[in-house]
Amino acid sequence: MIAIIDLGTGNLRSVEKALHQLGYPAQVTTHTPTVLKADAVILPGVGAFAKAMAALQQEGLAQAIEMTVNAGKPFMGICLGLQLLFEVSEEFGEVKGLGLLRGRVKRLSGAAFAAPAPQPQSPAAAWDPVPANFGRAQPSEPSTPAEPRLKVPHIGWNSIRIVKLHPALAGIPQDSMFYFVHSYAVVPEADGYTCATTDYGIEFTSAVGWGKVFACQFHPEKSGRAGLRVLDNFARMAYPQGPLEPPGAIAQTIR
């Protein structure tokens, strides 16, 4: 089972629905023993960094996440779930994060977001495409935000530039479009974990990964074909044989 940690903030059921459509068992939970027993763990979230950290600590989930990562189980952070992996956020003063990665979370503005720029690599091939009509309705024509007047929060479709291969990005073409909703972004202290960057006036880290850990600033559960593929890629790190149940009607063609 894939445990989806409930921070009481947004997109939980969308992630659960996507995994069920793909044929993987998933459960939204705040129960620490359930998280520890899970085959894989996802931490999605939107909203305030401090409130999310308080919830993780109160439920004992911060330690459960660290134990999951140290045990080598697949772990995925989405949006706020990416930011929480870092040492500190500057949202409403300095707030300590989980500290699994060195770096800070800063407001999405200014030159501080110059992200490491290793040479891009071509993603490895993956399975069949995901139906274009999967998931919630989104703006009909995804497009990169136009300069020079960029607004914060960064809301809408934007492309990612893959700079390091990771299993969660298998089969994702360079410059694929994903859906973003955020006002803050991560600034890693080292470039070794950055898997993808995105340009929004400045270039920021939009995905990180190492081993079986993957975290992204964008929302795969709201990103149609590409997003569903990322979730399927992640689930296959826990279930290499593929889905444990027949996929839902919308996800049939991914097989």
Determine the Cα–Cα distance for residues 185 and 125; give it in Å rounded to an integer: 29
pTM, entire model: 0.82
At residue 149, the pLDDT reads 56
pLDDT higher than threshold 50 for residue 140:
no
**Which pLDDT band holds residue 133 (cuts at 50, 70, 90)?**
very low
pLDDT higher than threshold 80 for residue 20:
yes
At residue 11, the pLDDT reads 67
What residues have CB less than 8 Å from 249, skipping those under 6 apart? none
At residue 156, the pLDDT reads 95
At residue 111, the pLDDT reads 37
Over residues 17-23, the mean pLDDT reads: 95
> What is the pLDDT of the chain when averaged over all its residues?
84
pLDDT higher than threshold 60 for residue 123:
no
Q: In this structure, what CATH number is given to the domain that contains residue 236? A: 3.40.50.880
Q: Which amino acid is at 34?
A: T
- The total of structural domains in the chain comes to 1
**Which pLDDT band holds residue 144 (cuts at 50, 70, 90)?**
very low
- Find out whether 34 and 247 touch, Cβ atoms under 8 Å: no
Place of tokens 């993780």: 56
Over residues 6-11, the mean pLDDT reads: 75
What residues have CB less than 8 Å from 124, skipping those under 6 apart? 165, 170, 171
Determine the Cα–Cα distance for residues 117 and 119; give it in Å rounded to an integer: 6
At residue 248, the pLDDT reads 67
Query: DSSP letters of 167-190?
Result: GGGTT--TT-EEEEEESEEEEESS
**Which pLDDT band holds residue 135 (cuts at 50, 70, 90)?**
very low
At residue 8, the pLDDT reads 76
Over residues 7-34, the mean pLDDT reads: 90
At residue 129, the pLDDT reads 38
Q: Which domain holds residue 8?
A: 2-254
Positions annotated as catalytic residues are 79, 219, 221
176 vs 201 pLDDT, higher one? 176
| Per-residue pLDDT tens over the stretch 183-222 | 999 999 977 899 999 999 899 999 999 999 999 999 999 9
Instruction: Give rounded-to-5 percent helix, strand, coil for the chain.
Output: 30, 30, 45
Over residues 65-74, the mean pLDDT reads: 96
